[in-house]
């Protein structure tokens, strides 16, 4: 086992969720840089019970001040894998290398797509999925498939995150509205320190929690929700909508 994995296992980051008033186990998080990302990291996230069974995975971004995507948190149950990416800058032609060269770590990024982001066994859930999907593509040359935008699936008024959460779970469990609002107010990546990762971890955890919510009506809404599949979305349109500051009609991304 490599040294970075020994360190991650020996010193896990532990978070207490403060969004929903339920007795939920502590959230364990691991941080890995994309250059060190291994299949074992994805297996840790997803668990080993029946590796071929479908899974719901929550994803949430942390953006840079310039609009880049330095970190992506992926959640399954009470585990969160935070992936740090090389700093990149999107170009109009979609090239993130800066000089026409191949972007870094493409082999590991392809593995990330194969194991998680484009794996037909996994459905991805996220709030405000359209700008995240575009940022993944334009900054990192990463695609996602079979991904559900939570606000659209539950028809949240004005695309409010808080209203979406209320529509899904408020009747079953009390929620901490102020904490939810705070977690989604600031989406910037500050550092890998525990205090600066709390909101990112909880956003990803909440996305996963909602994605595997088993109440009949909600489950049916997600089952019927259209999916975002970046394989079916032309590069020309991706680049066009990136240039207008992520003002993306979500219907343009849906199957």
Domain residue spans in the chain?
Answer: 3-245
DSSP letters, 214-225, are: --HHHHHHHHHS
Which among 29, 3, 25, 1 is positioned nearest to 14, based on CA atoms? 29
Contact, 113 vs 59, CB < 8 A?
Answer: no
> Rounded to two decimals, what is the model's pTM?
0.85
Q: What is the pLDDT of residue 230?
A: 86
Structure tokens at 155: 């028809």
**3-245 domain in CATH 3.40.190.80?**
no
Q: How far apart are CA 217 and CA 225, in angstroms?
A: 12
Structure confidence at residue 6 as a pLDDT band (50, 70, 90): very low
Task: For residue range 26-50, list pLDDT tens digits in order.
Answer: 999 999 999 999 999 999 999 876 6
Contact between residue 202 and residue 183 where contact means Cβ atoms under 8 Å apart: yes
Backbone angles phi, psi at 78, to 5 degrees: -110, 30
The pLDDT tens digits for 77-92 are 999 999 999 876 654 4
Other beta carbons within 10 angstroms of residue 198's beta carbon come to 19
Residue 116 has pLDDT above 80, yes or no: yes
pLDDT at position 3, please? Answer: 45
Contacts of 170 (CB under 8 A, 6+ apart): none
- Supply φ then ψ for residue 183, to 5 degrees: -60, -30
pLDDT at res. 234: 59
CA–CA distance, 82 with 27 (Å, rounded to integer): 12
CA distance 141 to 103: 8
Which range, of 10-14, 66-70, 148-152, 171-175, averages the lowest pLDDT?
Answer: 10-14
Backbone φ and ψ of 26, nearest 5°: -60, 150
Could you give the CA distance from residue 188 to residue 66 in angstroms, rounded to a whole number? 10
Give residue 208's pLDDT band: very low, low, confident or very high (50, 70, 90).
very high
CA-CA distance, 30 to 7, in Å (whole number)?
10
């Amino acid at each position: 086992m490599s040294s970075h994995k020994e360190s991650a296992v020996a010193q896990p980051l532990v978070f207490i969720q403060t969004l929903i008033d339920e007795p939920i186990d502590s959230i364990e998080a691991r941080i890995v840089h994309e250059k060190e990302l291994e299949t074992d990291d994805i297996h840790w996230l997803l668990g080993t019970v029946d590796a071929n069974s479908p899974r719901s995975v929550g994803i949430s971004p942390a953006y840079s001040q310039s609009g880049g995507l330095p970190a992506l948190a992926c959640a399954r149950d009470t585990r969160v894998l935070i992936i740090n990416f090389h700093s990149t800058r999107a170009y109009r032609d979609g090239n993130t290398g800066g000089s026409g060269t191949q972007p870094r770590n493409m082999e590991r990024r392809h593995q990330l797509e194969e194991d998680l982001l484009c794996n037909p066994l996994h459905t991805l859930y996220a709030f405000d999925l359209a700008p995240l999907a575009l940022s993944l593509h334009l900054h990192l040359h990463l695609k996602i498939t079979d991904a559900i935008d939570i606000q659209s699936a539950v028809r949240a008024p004005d695309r409010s995150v808080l209203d979406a959460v209320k529509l899904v779970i408020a009747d079953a469990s009390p929620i901490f509205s102020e904490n939810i609002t705070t977690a989604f107010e600031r989406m910037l990546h500050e550092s890998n320190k525990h205090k600066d990762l709390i909101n990112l971890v909880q956003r990803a955890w909440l996305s996963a929690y909602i994605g595997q919510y088993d109440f009949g009506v909600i489950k049916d809404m997600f089952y019927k929700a259209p999916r975002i599949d970046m394989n079916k979305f032309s590069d020309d349109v991706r680049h066009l909508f990136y240039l207008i500051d992520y003002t993306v009609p979500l219907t343009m991304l849906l199957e």
